[in-house]
Structure formats: structure tokens, C-alpha cells
Amino acid sequence: MHRRVFLKGAGAATALSVGSWYAYDRGVFSVGEGPAYEPWKDWRGDSSEGPLALVHAAILAASPHNTQPWRFRVADSFVELYIDPKRNVGALDPFLREEHLGIGCALENLMLAARANGYAATAALMPGILSSNSAQSRSELVARVDLAPGTREKSELYDAIPRRHTNRSSYERHSPLPKDFLSGLSQLPNEEPNVRLFLFTGEADHQRIVKVSSAANIELYSDPCVAAASEQWIRWQWKEVQRSRDGLTIDAFGLSPMAAAAAKAMPVQLLNRIASKSQSTGYQDRMLTAPLIGFIAVRDRYDRVQCLEAGRVWQRAHLFATARGIAARPCNEAVEMVDHERMRGRAPRCLSQLAEITGDPTWQPTFVFLMGYSTEAAHASPRRSVQASLNA
């Protein structure tokens, strides 16, 4: 989404001209602070909470536009995960495919936390075929984790949970990732037979992927329904961040500290005007700084179980990268365009373009990501509390 990069060139003059009281009110000096960020500090939970402690880790998972579309039902011997269809990005995700990926991310965190807390955990995923999000109106069970006494097994992925943040800054283009990292990354889907990783490190492949992604980005956000659905999850104001505890924030846009401070000080109306005038070239340039572009592919992108499994692999991959000091972010416009074309009954042009890139049409890309060494530190995103995430 190119509005995430438009502020890169914002000058520091605005921030410097703001009085300290005004800057404080806008959160200029409060990055990662306040109630919206408390879940990152108590992420291990308390052993006295039993299985509820696992939810503390689960709610820190990735999700599209930080919608946090999960609900949990907790009992002494199991945890159930439900999708909340009201927490979605509308026309951008018409089949709730990405929301199911987010549930898969939460499931992966929960499974890691279960082992770290001494549970033997077994996950059962509910089968189904994804349909239009307008067809779903209430919370629906998508996974159940049965718990039994087991051995405590902490791992580097579990320890990386509180440090995993989406990094939307530019990356160091000429700093290739280590071969042993790429080898380890490629093996992460081994437990999921219907999921495969495609890893691209060559310039020619990157140019092809960026061309498809950039065109999809422009077309998607020229649709007023897509733009409006996305915009409702942008939290421009600090008070709104603390109130909603979800969505995309200025601090998470990958800006330099000075540019972020300047953006926070601007009136919302001005921010929106600048965003509307932003150019796609910045989006392309930022994608091309990544030394690695990856696809997570499945056999059927609208099979619910495979969506959940793909989400688990993305969470695993991001934690794996975090543990090794490598930044990562999603870049999903191309696969979102596949949904867009399907929803409107159009020829699957983008699907064909992705198949040409992978060279294997039997695998359908459902998630695109970038990895590399970042030029700016990533910041935490706001989170709803555990209690707010429990199923009523």
C-alpha cells in the first residue's frame, strides 16, 4: 500500500515547530507506550492463568492491517480459535482469505506458547471453503487446540514473539541474506504438506514481481471500495491508537524518527491530502531494496485449512527472521488482486502472472513477503487486551 511510504520525505520543520504539549498529545514522544502497547510487556502471561496464559502470546501475532480478527474460548483442557468476520478489511479481502491467514498466525504463536508452558498441544483445523465475506456475519470456530500435560520446550521462535514487528522501512539492498538462513527458511513448511515457499533473490525475478505488485497496487486502490475499507484501519491520531488498540499507525509505517514526528504533528486532513497525491514509484523502490522476496503458496488458496496452515508458516518465518536480526514485512497486493479479479468474475490475469514467476501453476501464491536488513528499527503495533479477545 503506497500510502505507507508517502511520508518518507516529510520534513522535520513541522515537528520542530510544535509545542511540547502538542507533541505529547500527538504521541510524538510516546512510541510504543500507553495501554495499547501493554500486551507486548506481559506476553508470557501468568502460569496461574492456566491455558489463558497462551492467549497472551497468541494476540501478538501478525494480521492484515492489524485487524486482529481472532476470538478465543479457553477451558482447562483446550483453547478454541474463532474468526470475527466484523474485523476485516472489506473489499480488499472479499473472501476473508487474509483474515484466515491471520488466525493461522495466532495459532502458531499459541502452539509455541503451549510447549513453552508445559503442554502437549494438538491442533485440529476446521475444514471449509472460503466464501464472500458478506456471507459471514457471526463468529465461527476455525481451530481447536487440545492440551495435555507435557514437557516444557522453549524455542528461539517462542523467545522471538515479543520482538517480531512488521518492518516497512527500506532494506539494505546490497546486503544479501546468509545462505544458512535461506536454507533454514526454506525448510519451515516441512510440517505442512500443502504449503510451499518460493524464495527469489535474483534481480530479474525481483523486477518481475515488483512490476506485477505495483500494477496491482495501483488498480486495487483506485477502487473506492477498497480504498475506503483500507482507510478505516488507519489510525492517524494518537488518541485513536490508544482507544481502538488496533490498525496501522504512523509509528509502524517504516519512517525515520524525524519523519514520523513530523507526520504525527500534521493535521489529519493534510495527511490524507498528501497520501492521495503519493506516487507508486516509492512503493516500487522500497520493494526493490529487499534482497529476498518470498511467496507462500498452497494447493488451493480458498481452502480454509490451507489458509490457516499458510498463516502458521508466515508467523514461523517472521519469528525465524526476527531471531536472526532480519526484518520482514508482507507485500500482498498481487495476491489481493487475484481475489479482486475472482470476486468480479474477471479473467485471472494476475493469477497467470504469478504462475509464470513460480513456473508451477499447481502451487497458488497466497502470501508475498520481503526480508532483509532494515534501515530503520520496527516498532510494535497496538494490541487489544486478552480479555477483549475472548469469545463472549
Tell me the pLDDT tens digit for each residue of 323-376. Answer: 999 999 999 999 999 999 999 999 999 999 999 999 999 999 999 999 999 999
Averaged pLDDT for residues 122-138: 84
Q: Give the end-to-end CA distance of the chain in Å, rounded to a whole number.
A: 34
Q: Say how far apart CA 27 and CA 23 lie, in whole Å.
A: 6
CA dihedral 160, 166, 168, 174 (to 10 degrees): 30
Residues with Cβ within 8 Å of residue 15, at least 6 apart in sequence: 23, 28, 258, 261, 262, 264, 265
Residue listed under C-alpha cell 466484523: 86
Question: pLDDT at position 22, please?
Answer: 55
Domains and their CATH numbers in the chain: 1-392 (3.40.109.10)
Question: pLDDT at position 15, please?
Answer: 40
Q: Say how far apart CA 285 and CA 334 lie, in whole Å.
A: 16
Whole-prediction pTM value? 0.92
Residue 214 has pLDDT above 60, yes or no: yes
Q: Of 230, 222, 216, whose CA–CA distance to 351 is shortest?
A: 216
Q: How confident is the model at residue 6 (pLDDT cuts 50, 70, 90)?
A: very low
Question: pLDDT at position 200, please?
Answer: 98
pLDDT tens column, 281-316: 578 889 999 999 999 999 999 999 999 999 999 999
Averaged pLDDT for residues 157-175: 97
Q: How confident is the model at residue 17 (pLDDT cuts 50, 70, 90)?
A: very low
Residue 10 has pLDDT above 50, yes or no: no
Question: pLDDT at position 350, please?
Answer: 97
Averaged pLDDT for residues 9-33: 59
Averaged pLDDT for residues 158-175: 96
Question: pLDDT at position 5, please?
Answer: 46
